Amino acid sequence: MNLFNLTSIELEALRLSLWVSGWALAGILPFGILIAWVLARKNFPGKSILDGLIHLPLVLPPVVIGYLLLILLGRNGIIGALLFKYLGISVAFTWKGAAIASGVMAFPLLVRSVRLSIEAVDQGIENAARTLGAGPLRVFFTVTLPLIIPGIITGILLAFARSLGEFGATITFVSNIQGETQTLPLALYTLIQMPNGEASAMRLCLLSVFIAMMALLISELLSRWFTATLNG
Amino acid sequence: MLDIKLEKKLGKCFINVAFKSDVTEVIALFGPSGAGKTSVINMVAGLVRPDAGHITVNHRNLFDSNAKINLPPEKRNIGYIFQDGRLFPHLSVRSNLAYGMRNTSTSESSITFHQVVELLGIGQLLDRRPSRLSGGEKQRVAIGRALLTNPDLLLMDEPFASLDQPRKAEILPFVSRLCTEFEIPVLYVTHSLEEISRLADTLIVMDSGKIASTGQTAGPPNG
């Protein structure tokens, strides 16, 4: 059993996984920070409904989310049909759809982590910045944001891990197309069902462990570095 | 210069105060905990919105419930020195001091960075982080940071409550010099009679949200 030479299918799955997770993260990061800030700092009617909606992907079976995405964003979906008609964009059965599915599934983890760290920021310090002449936007970018960077790093790690492991929503929404939507878990699933797929499956397993460990290590180092910087 | 009238219901406590001052002086707000002293200066700073009343500083209307004026804290030009310093932990002392400077143009700036550093004796601390400062050093930096915004009024909320006696003795002289050297009126919250006798020109005694008495003190011995 050769554990180190990846076949082209496996390499393709690895490349696609990183690509899809990267885009998913880039897409949800600014939005996630904004929502986390709103949930941490603002009170408005319907807040618990918004909070519940954001947490749905965490508590629903992923297949349900995938099916909902198909209904909304599929070529004949409510939003998907409009997108295709006016902009010529179709995300179903493409890597973009896989990124959307990953992003939606990872979103609550990002929001939770960032929200907790925003709630931990002393509002007294933000108020002090206001009395020094800084408007709300400057306070956010010069005080709140730098102080929550460790929380954002944790959120990014959790979201990244979640989107790398995304299976149910992805296979339901964009299917299992090699080279287009077949990410690591989907490739692994396919290989397990094939005769003589064991070596390949084991390689993908080890690869997943390696990526997860690397991500953990990097986020840990970054967190430590930022904490050290904070404490001068 | 200072004309303040405030009403605010906070839980069971009803705050209703009014006072005026026509000269540049140190006004001490004195009273037991829960008298509403901090709420009053939070309202002056714009951090808490009064139910009714008005706040006028240097003929500028900062709040007026009748005229529906309510400037946000960043537009009030009032410096606030908090009990717990509230320095920005992620910035060096130098950056903390400079944080509020960009809103004051150099032409109207009567207080320079150099002057403040000199007055407060914090020159050797400029490159440190707040976590590496002692309590007294933190408060001096906080005072400098507020001064450098060129405020029309300085608010101080028991700035020395968390300091021991030697540290207090280290900073108290600076406060009386602020008022005289930079001609900034100071509204000072405290429950220490010693600080009042050393600093205050006018004393306002508060009890359960109301002003119990107002009067001139003998004045600080050195000013």
Are residues B146 and A142, on separate chains, in Cβ contact within 8 Å? no
Residues B172, B194 contacting (CB under 8 angstroms)? no
Are residues B131 and A232, on separate chains, in Cβ contact within 8 Å? yes
From the list A127, A132, A229, which residue is nearest B100 (CB)?
A: A132
- The ipTM is 0.89
Within 8 A of B146 by CB-CB distance, chain A residues are 131-132
**Distance from C-alpha of B176 to C-alpha of A140, rounded to nearest angstrom:** 34
Q: B158 to chain A, minimum CA–CA distance in Å? A: 15
Q: For position B163, what pLDDT does the model report?
A: 78
- The pLDDT tens digits of the residues spanning A75-106 come to 888 888 888 888 888 888 899 999 999 999 99
Query: How crowded is residue A36: how many other Cβ atoms within 10 Å of its Cβ?
Result: 25
For chain A, the average pLDDT equals: 91
Residue A92 is which amino acid? A
Top-ranked range on mean pLDDT: pick from A30-44, A207-221, B22-36, B179-193:
A30-44
Within 8 A of B46 by CB-CB distance, chain A residues are 130-131
Are residues A128 and B72, on separate chains, in Cβ contact within 8 Å? no
Write the Ramachandran bin of A60: left for phi over 0, alpha for psi from -120 to 50, otherwise beta. beta
Q: Which residue of A has its CA nearest to B131?
A: A231
Q: What does each C-alpha distance from A155 to A21, A56, B201 come to in angstroms?
A: 14, 17, 53
Are residues B90 and A146, on separate chains, in Cβ contact within 8 Å? yes
Residues 10-69 of B with CB under 8 A from A: 45-47
From the list B128, B131, B145, which residue is nearest A132 (CB)?
A: B145
How many residues can be counted in chain B?
A: 223
Does B100 touch chain A if contact means CB atoms closer than 8 Å?
A: yes
β-pair partners for B215: B203
Torsion angle in degrees (nearest 10) through CA of A17, A19, A20, A25: 120
Which one-letter DSSP state was computed for residue A143? I
Q: For position B223, what pLDDT does the model report?
A: 44
Q: Residue A151 — very low, low, confident or very high, per pLDDT cuts 50/70/90?
A: very high
CB neighbours of A219 closer than 8 A, spacing ≥ 6?
A153, A154, A156, A157
From the list B86, B131, B149, which residue is nearest A133 (CB)?
A: B149
- Per-residue pLDDT at B104 exceeds 70: no
Residue with tokens 């000199």: B118
Listed residue (B127, B156, B130) closest to B143, CA to CA: B156
- The pLDDT tens digits of the residues spanning B31-51 come to 888 888 999 999 999 999 999
Q: For position A10, what pLDDT does the model report?
A: 87
Residues A18, A184 contacting (CB under 8 angstroms)? no
Q: B88 to chain A, minimum CA–CA distance in Å? A: 7
| Burial label, B58 (beta-carbon count in 10 A; 0-12, 13-18, 19+) | exposed
**Distance from C-alpha of B108 to C-alpha of B28, rounded to nearest angstrom:** 28
Listed residue (B38, B49, B26) closest to B218, CA to CA: B26
Are residues A232 and B146, on separate chains, in Cβ contact within 8 Å? no
Residues A102, A161 contacting (CB under 8 angstroms)? no
Residues A103, A163 contacting (CB under 8 angstroms)? yes
Q: For position A113, what pLDDT does the model report?
A: 95
Task: Indicate the CATH number for domain A8-231.
Answer: 1.10.3720.10
| Burial label, B201 (beta-carbon count in 10 A; 0-12, 13-18, 19+) | buried
Residue A59 is which amino acid? V
**Distance from C-alpha of B10 to C-alpha of B18, rounded to nearest angstrom:** 17
Choose the mutation target among B47, B81, B90, B131 for the interface with A, i.e. most A CBs under 10 Å. B90
User: Residues of chain A with pLDDT > 70: what percent?
Assistant: 98
Does A147 touch chain B if contact means CB atoms closer than 8 Å?
A: yes
Top-ranked range on mean pLDDT: pick from A125-139, A187-201, B169-183:
A125-139
Does B73 touch chain A if contact means CB atoms closer than 8 Å?
A: yes
Could you please report the per-residue DSSP string of chain B?
Answer: -EEEEEEEEETTEEEEEEEEE-SS-EEEEE--TTSSHHHHHHHHHTSS--SEEEEEETTEEEEETTTTEE--GGGS-EEEE-TT----TTS-HHHHHHTTGGGS-TTT--S-HHHHHHHHT-GGGTTS-GGGS-HHHHHHHHHHHHHTT--SEEEEESTTTTS-HHHHHHHHHHHHHHHHHH---EEEEES-HHHHHHH-SEEEEEETTEEEEEEE-S--TT-
Q: Which residue of A has its CA nearest to B88?
A: A125
- Per-residue pLDDT at A1 exceeds 70: no
Query: How crowded is residue B84: how many other Cβ atoms within 10 Å of its Cβ?
Result: 18
Is A7 in a helix, a strand, or coil? coil
From the list B72, B86, B149, which residue is nearest A125 (CB)?
A: B86
Q: Which residue of B has its CA nearest to A133?
A: B74
Q: For position A126, what pLDDT does the model report?
A: 95
Does A40 touch chain B if contact means CB atoms closer than 8 Å?
A: no
- Per-residue pLDDT at B222 exceeds 70: no
Are residues A130 and B103, on separate chains, in Cβ contact within 8 Å? no
Are residues B82 and A133, on separate chains, in Cβ contact within 8 Å? no
| For chain A, domain boundaries | 8-231
For chain B, the average pLDDT equals: 87
From the list A132, A146, A230, which residue is nearest B149 (CB)?
A: A132
Listed residue (B204, B145, B147, B137) closest to B177, CA to CA: B147
From the list B74, B78, B89, which residue is nearest A230 (CB)?
A: B89
From the list B100, B103, B131, which residue is nearest A231 (CB)?
A: B131
Choose the mutation target among A132, A148, A227 for the interface with B, i.e. most B CBs under 10 Å. A132
Residues A93, B51 contacting (CB under 8 angstroms)? no
Does B116 touch chain A if contact means CB atoms closer than 8 Å?
A: no
Does B81 touch chain A if contact means CB atoms closer than 8 Å?
A: no
Tokens matching residue A223: 């967190």
Could you please report the per-residue DSSP string of A63-92?
Answer: HHHHHHHHHHHSTTSHHHHHHHHHH----T
Residues A170, A66 contacting (CB under 8 angstroms)? yes
- The pLDDT tens digits of the residues spanning B119-174 come to 888 999 999 999 999 888 899 899 999 999 989 999 999 888 877 787 787 778 77
